[in-house]
Amino acid sequence: MSRSLVIAAALVCVSCGGRVVPLPDAPVVRSRGGLASMTLTATRGPNGRDAFRFDGRDVPPAIRIAPGETLKIHYVNALPVPPEPALHSGQMNMTNLHFHGLSVSPERPQDDVLDMTAMPGEALDYTLVIPRDHLPGLHWYHTHPHGESHQQVLDGMSGALIIEGIERYAPAVRNMRERVLVIRAIDIEHDPKASARRARVGVEQSRCGESHDQVDRVFSVNSVLRPEIAMRPGERQFWRIVNAAPDRYVDIEMPHQRLEVVAYDGLPIAYHDPEHPTRQVNHVLLPPAGRVEAIVTAQEPYGRTVLRTRCVDTGADGDPNPGMILADVVSTQTASPPPPEPAGVASATPPAFTVVDVQHAKQEPPHFTVVFSEDKKGFYINGQKYSPDAQPMVRAKVGELQHWRIVNNSRELHPFHIHQVHFLAYLENDRPLPDPHWLDTVNVAVGGSVDVIMDFSDPIIRGMSVFHCHLLNHEDKGMMAKILFE
């Protein structure tokens, strides 16, 4: 039996044969006395799927930590030593961790994805010191071994990571019921029950975009296929959503309802735009790794709706990305009341607001241009495949704002991501975006371009890091490059 078929077979209970399954919460790791400490193990279960093992269960924990605190992770690689045929094909079962979105050092023992790698039987010790001025918001952690990150993240080796204190910038969420939704992709390419799973989530039958391939991914939320989210009529909840799929987009909507967005990619809107701290939107496109934090209002009176993803046209060479249902949302009087503790950590400190003057950087020609391209032999940035021994493709002086242009010279979408840094995306195909956002991952249209202002002003961010396409199968095949912060 192929590995993908074994993995799909392990997900039979997830579909639950149409039975209603409430949205589950992940176990939570919190700090005590300023320190959050945990042991995380990379394992391969009897179902053939790689997983994070924590506290006796193959369920990745959500990490919650406040600015000024320290996170320590003892990460053990208990994956099997691969047989000789796998070694010849490049599968080494090495692993490591990336703390996506965190403003921490790219050097050991923090967010180092270049030199911190564990082979089977080895372990890594991470110590991340969260800066006292770190902004609150939703981030996530996932494996990042070049060449093997796609399969590990597809298997589910990821989890939410929250920096507390969002209520400083969005006071309305303080007493709301909080939901953390981790959207993952399930590979059903060789699953004998693929048709039933597509039917379970209502995969749209009409062709989405130009791809003629069979739909080989469906989405789960917190590892459940189409769970139910209960709300009381008229209740407002605070939802924190991450697209943890390694290679698929989600365009989130709740039909006939608007989302009140508080933050994108872990950055509160109010930090840079205090006069307009939220956005009322009908839908949000999240590329792989994208996050959104939004207030959701239940129907009044009782009723039922869905959280769904719309069709995303990924281009002629892209993978099928049709619309489907992510979760059922039920408005009922029997829904549990909000927990007694508020979302985030209460703070008497007034929020800090920073309006960054980017006009000068916008007027400068691009300091650097990133060009995504591909052919039958692989995926490239500026005509080069990533190599571990490569020199940095670009250097950035700490303290600068830089104008970068990202160009997509291919026939499929590519999401651009850079480690350690947020940027303002303000032009698309040389036209001003109507509502520019600060992000750490941005979609680049087929044959198009995006202009961004990179914020390299954080003095903590020094050393060698990377930027890449966050379709992780593309990153694994060469679409990554180094940047030196100096």
Distance CA 373, CA 382 (A): 8
Distance CA 294, CA 466 (A): 29
Q: pLDDT, tens digit, for every residue of 265-299?
A: 999 999 999 999 999 999 999 999 999 999 999 98
pTM equals 0.93
> 79 pLDDT exceeds 80?
yes
For residue 118, give Cα distances in angstroms to 52, 81, 438: 14, 12, 33
With tokens 């939802």, the residue in question is 239
> 310 pLDDT exceeds 70?
yes
Please report the pLDDT score of residue 10 as a whole number.
35
With tokens 């799929």, the residue in question is 245
Please report the pLDDT score of residue 214 as a whole number.
80
Closest to 30 (Cα-Cα) out of 290, 263, 341: 341
Q: How many helices (H) and strands (E) does the chain have?
A: 8, 32
pLDDT bucket at 48, cuts 50 / 70 / 90: confident
Q: What is the mean pLDDT of residues 118-134?
A: 97
Q: At residue 433, what is the residue type?
A: L
Kindly report the average pLDDT of the chain as a whole number.
91
Closest to 146 (Cα-Cα) out of 96, 75, 109: 96
H-assigned helices in 291-401: 359-363
Task: Report helix, strand or coil for 6.
Answer: helix
User: Pairing state of beta strands 368-375 and 400-408?
Assistant: parallel
Q: pLDDT, tens digit, for every residue of 12-46?
A: 334 355 578 999 999 999 999 999 999 999 999 88
* Dihedral sign of CA atoms 385, 389, 390, 395 in order: positive
Q: Which residues of 398-418 are buried (b: 16+ CB within 10 A; e: fewer)?
A: eeebbbbbbbbebebbbbbbb
Q: pLDDT, tens digit, for every residue of 216-252?
A: 999 999 999 999 999 999 999 999 999 999 999 999 9
User: Pairing state of beta strands 228-231 and 324-331?
Assistant: parallel
Q: pLDDT, tens digit, for every residue of 447-469?
A: 999 999 999 999 999 999 999 99
Please report the pLDDT score of residue 342 as a whole number.
43
Q: Percentage of the chain with pLDDT > 70?
A: 92
**To the nearest 5 percent, what fractions of the chain are helix, strand and coil?**
10, 40, 50
> 346 pLDDT exceeds 50?
no
Question: Based on the number of CB atoms within 10 Å of its own CB, is 308 exposed (0-12), middle (13-18) or buried (19 or more)?
Answer: buried
